[in-house]
Amino acid sequence: MDFVTFQDSKADIWAYMTDRYIRIVNPSSATRRERAQVTDYWKDYQNCVGLFGERRGVLPYKQSSYDWQPLVMQAAGCVASAWARLAADVGEAEATLILEKELGNGIPQKVIEAGLIQKARFAHIS
């Protein structure tokens, strides 16, 4: 994105950041966080979008590839992270059993190996 494009998109960026990315809500306004009502002062903050010019309706960046292989790698990474977090709490063998039961399938060894690398990040949280 060049500087001119950025300047033209500031209002859209503000709107996205204050509506989708960050929201300050009243937690008692709904039972689910995503349905909670934005606080009055956050609405005022969101309305400052006019300081940045007109909204132009920028579109999200298009996915560059529709290949399935990166999605498989991402899914494996997610399972490895879940395994690592669980293993830090209940141990490696128990984490493997729990996730295999949840997924209804065995966990590939390379996913467990990736989880072992990540486990160190979570061990200090427990």
Please report the pLDDT score of residue 107 as a whole number: 79
Q: Where are the domains of the chain?
A: 3-52, 69-123
- N-term to C-term CA, the chain: 41
Q: Is the pLDDT of residue 62 over 70?
A: no
Decide: helix, strand or coil at residue 70. helix
Q: Dump pLDDT digits (tens) for 17-58.
A: 888 788 888 888 888 878 889 899 888 888 888 888 887 776
Q: Is the pLDDT of residue 5 over 70?
A: yes
Q: Dump pLDDT digits (tens) for 94-117.
A: 999 998 888 877 878 888 888 887
Please report the pLDDT score of residue 98 as a whole number: 92
Dihedral sign from CA coordinates of 5, 11, 17, 19: negative
